[in-house]
């Protein structure tokens, strides 16, 4: 399965240059990708299962990542908001 998503700042603007890392049961599983200029990211070829996404970048922020299920043959859409002071959950 695949993740296709977008990372936005608190004002809804795309954020580029962040690293998105997917984890299964809290353990990093080695898929790291950068967000592009539009804040878009894709993680391909994942085993079917439940995942969380962690965001790493030069500016410290918090991403509320829900558990996302990946199924065979169906890309999982994931849009995330990056909050710097007040985590509020997904956009």
Query: pTM for this structure?
Result: 0.78
Q: How far apart are CA 80 and CA 23, in angstroms?
A: 15
pLDDT score, position 40: 94
Chunk the chain into consecutive blocks of 10 residues (it has 91) and report each block's average pLDDT, rounded to whole numbers: 86 85 70 89 86 75 72 83 61 56
Q: How far apart are CA 72 and CA 38, in angstroms?
A: 26
């Amino acid at each position: 399965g695949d993740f296709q998503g977008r990372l936005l700042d608190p004002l809804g603007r795309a954020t580029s240059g962040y690293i998105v890392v997917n984890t299964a049961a809290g353990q990093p599983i080695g898929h790291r990708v950068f967000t592009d200029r539009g804040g878009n990211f894709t993680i391909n070829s994942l085993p079917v299962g439940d995942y969380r996404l962690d965001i790493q970048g030069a500016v410290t922020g918090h991403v509320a990542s829900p558990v996302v299920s990946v199924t065979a043959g169906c890309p999982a859409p994931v849009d995330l908001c990056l909050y710097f002071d007040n985590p509020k959950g997904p956009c």
